[in-house]
Amino acid sequence: MAKRDYYEVLGVPKTASTDEVKSAYRRLARQYHPDVAKENPKVAEEKFKELSEAYEVLIDPEKRRRYDQLGFSAVESEFGPQGFTWQNFTHAGDVEDLFAGSPIFRQFFEGFGMPFGGLPRRESGRGADVEMALRLPLAAAVQGAHPTVEVPHAVPCRDCRGTGAKDGTAFETCPECGGSGQVRRVQSRGYTQLISIGECPRCHGLGRRILEKCPTCRGSGTLSSVEKIEIDVPAGIEDGAVLRIPGHGNAGRAGGRAGDLYVQVVFDADSPIRRAGREAFTETTVPLATALLGGQVSVPTIDGRADLKIPPGTQPETQFRLRGHGFPALRGTSRGDLIVTAHVEVPKQLSGKQREQLREALGGEAGAAEGRRESFFRRRAS
């Protein structure tokens, strides 16, 4: 693949400000969100990498200056002989928030070896994350929504305050690891010593040993429960976006931190409205007479049905724009447009009387065509 100019990759002019470079990168990076890109992750990685390489250079005034002067040869020395790798990318933090809400993302990009330093790491005793899908009507993408969901998950046991020990006190510091939860193992092989640090086998990394189990939770420290949580769905949210609600996943083991809840927003798939950014698209059928003479038809919109005025002489596949009937940007209020494609319905059959009237109304043109067809059939029949 021929290397494309960095400005071209980001779609910004040579005079673009740092802010413009940043917002172009963020906008384009969204397209490689794993929720979108999971169908072809290999291609998505290549594209996202090309984009990130361009960003790495153009966002840094010094690297950008050298690139402007010397082109790609200036950055070859920067990235090394094999070219740009994810290890060269130092600005992952600039897009982390776009993806951090998605656990799928973490697997997806960490598989690339992408250095997302700020993402939460697994910690000992931390509860599992819980994922769920939330189905919403399309109107929620316009107004936002605050649905209450019931999340089945593990919560800390009340009776032992999550320790798993009777009354929350019947435990001692693990004698094996001294409370750290980790043990050092030293293996000698010939002249070399192999030192490994692993989870303490006695307390399984918890650092304490239960003397008497809590009878309510039988020592696990957690109970299963259904929690009702109000979810704040912002206006303008895209289909498939994942919201992260920290601390509402499963309870941690023996007092460890709770996991997070991930809610994927899924819009009603049966809706006749399609979406592309802030614009909405739909279709309608216009009876032939209405297309010829004008009138109005009822069209589906995000907010219900609306009347669309059809001017006389409307051509098939004409697109009408209903201003302000599209979607807002994320957390925005001003809405894009709804574009309605009008399919003109041509009747398959006409009665003899209708044919007569139509021939009369349209004059010679239709009459001539009809005449030709009739003579054709007469010829076939003879």
Residue ranges binding Zn ion (CB under 5 A) = 157, 159-160, 174, 176-177, 200, 202-203, 214, 216-217
Residue 146 or 218: the one with the smaller Cβ distance to Zn ion is: 218
Strand partners, 188: 193
Closer residue to Zn ion (CB): 214 or 241: 214
Residue with Cβ nearer Zn ion (214 or 340): 214
91 or 202: CB nearest Zn ion:
202
The distance of closest approach from Cβ of residue 181 to Zn ion in the complex, given in angstroms and rounded to an integer, is 6
CB of 22 to Zn ion, least distance (A): 47
Q: In the structure encoding, which two tokens stand for residue 151, read together?
A: 């999340």
How far are the Cα atoms of 8, 68, 177, 222, 237 from residue 167, in angstroms, in the given order?
65, 69, 24, 14, 45
| CA nearest neighbour of 121 among 138, 141, 100 | 100
Instruction: Pick between residue 138 and residue 206 the one whose CB is nearest to Zn ion.
Output: 206
In the chain, the amino acid numbered 39 is E
Report the C-alpha gap between 290 and 309 in whole angstroms.
10
Least Å distance between CB 225 and Zn ion? 13
Residue 253 CB, shortest distance to Zn ion, in Å, is: 12
Min dist CB 98 to Zn ion, Å, is: 40
Shortest separation between residue 207's beta carbon and Zn ion, angstroms: 6
- Residue 354 tokens, joined: 């209708």
Q: Pairing between strand 130-136 and 261-267?
A: parallel
Minimum distance of Zn ion from residue 187's CB (angstroms):
20
Question: Shortest Cβ distance from residue 245 to Zn ion (Å)?
Answer: 25
* Identity of the residue, 98 or 170, whose beta carbon is nearer to Zn ion in the bound complex: 170
Distance CA 231, CA 215 (A): 34
- When the beta carbons of 214 and 297 are compared against Zn ion, the nearer one is 214
Tell me the closest approach of the beta carbon of residue 170 to Zn ion, in angstroms.
10
Contact 167, 160 (CB under 8 A): yes
Q: Which is nearer to Zn ion, 111 or 215 (CB)?
A: 215
Pick between residue 151 and residue 214 the one whose CB is nearest to Zn ion: 214
For 179, phi and psi rounded to 5 degrees?
100, -10
Other beta carbons within 10 angstroms of residue 359's beta carbon come to 17
